[in-house]
Structures are given as structure tokens and as C-alpha cells.
Amino acid sequence: MPWKGKPGRSDIICWAGFTVTGLYNLALLPLRPVLLGANPYLLAGLGGSRVSAVTIGALAATGVGFWPLGLVLGTIGAVKFDWLFWWAGRLWGRGLIEMVAGRSARSARNADRAERLARRFGSLAIIAGYIIPLPSAVVYATVGAAGMTLRRFLLVDIATAAVTRGLFIYLGYRIGEPAVHVLAEVARYSWYLSIVLLVGVLLGAVRQSRRRRTPAV
């Protein structure tokens, strides 16, 4: 666990928030193809999906939908749980980072790189996390532990999410009708894609459970 000693009320609430977040993302994963075809605005609000932002832009290019709504929903969907990781950094310092880094050697390297960037660049590391592959949980926890205020964190995080979602919407707008045709094909096979993703999630959970049960040699 990321805390030292007996957990307090804040520790338990924050950890419960992580549990809810994990279950939420797990439940949303197999629904993404269906929502992308049926209602990309809902997918943008629920998950902040980049693909949904491109789709909203493409639909706007053909005269369908209202892209400012997609921008607002996509921004909210992208940042909705980020404050939780900032709070974890405030509560546990390096505890969360060590927990994330302890999964594998690769995770440890990625977490170490993200922590160094966050400690050195602060707000710029938050922005970089939207552009390059960084473990955002480590970045947010690090800036929280380093003393960044919640107000500043949310300002940088929300502004960056809005700009990046806007760029993806513009990209979809420039692509236009061809992207809409792709969306139609995704919608056509969305339930099959969802079933494949659901099976993958279940197999991954079973495999992870077996690994935990296997005694160390």
C-alpha cells in the first residue's frame, strides 16, 4: 500500500476513489466501440476519447452535430479523475509512485522518467503528458507531492486537455467525410469489437489472478 502505518480517513477515501476509477475504466473499455458509433459525444464525456474528438470534428464537417459541445464534454472526460492522483501525491508522496513503479522493470523506468520530468518542469510535465507517452498518474502525484496547488494543477490540466481535444476535433474536421465513412463501418461491427474487448479483459483478469496464486520459487 502507498501509505505508511495505519491508514487514516483520507487514505481510505482516496484509495476507494482509485478502486472506483479502475472499475469505471474497466467497464467502459468494451463499450467504447459501441459508443463511438452510437454517440461519440457521450463517449467524449465518459472517457475523453481522442478518437471521439476526431469523430465529432468529422461529423461537424458534414453539417452534423455541434462541435463546441464535443469540446466541452471531451475536456471534462479527459480530466475527470486527474485530481485524484494529485491528491494521492499530497497524501502519500512517493508511496503511489513506488507502487506504480513496482509492477515491472519497464514500469519502473517509465515512472522514474516521469517523476524526474515532473520535479524539474512542473506544469510543463503535465502538458507533456498529453503529447508524449508518460504515466500521467506519476506526473500528477509528483507535482502534488512537490506542493503544486490544486487550483494551479486544475488550470494547467484543463487548459491542456481543452487545447488537445480542440486539435483532434480540428483534425477530424479537416478529414471530413472519409472519417464519417470509417465511423459507419465501426458502428456496423461495434458489438463484435466490444465482445472481443470484453473477452480480452476477462482473459487478462484470469491470467493476472493465476499469477498471483502461483507461489514464488
Domains held by the chain: number: 1
- pLDDT tens, 145-172? 888 899 999 999 999 999 999 999 998 8
| CB-based contacts of 54, cutoff 8 Å, min separation 6 | 168, 169, 171, 172, 175, 179
Cα–Cα distances (Å) from 212 to 18, 33, 207, in that order, read 20, 31, 9
The sign one gets for the Cα dihedral 132, 138, 142, 145 is positive
Domain range for 178 is: 9-82+90-105+162-213
Note whether residue 77 is domain-resident.
Answer: yes
CB 172 within 8 A of CB 58: yes
Residue 26 confidence class, pLDDT cut points 50, 70, 90: confident
Note whether residue 123 is domain-resident.
Answer: no
What pLDDT score was predicted for residue 51?
87
Note whether residue 174 is domain-resident.
Answer: yes
Is the pLDDT at 75 greater than 70? The verdict is yes
Note whether residue 142 is domain-resident.
Answer: no
Residue 182 CB-density burial (10 A; 0-12 exposed, 13-18 middle, 19+ buried): middle
Residue 120 CB-density burial (10 A; 0-12 exposed, 13-18 middle, 19+ buried): exposed
DSSP 3-state assignment of 211? helix
Note whether residue 42 is domain-resident.
Answer: yes
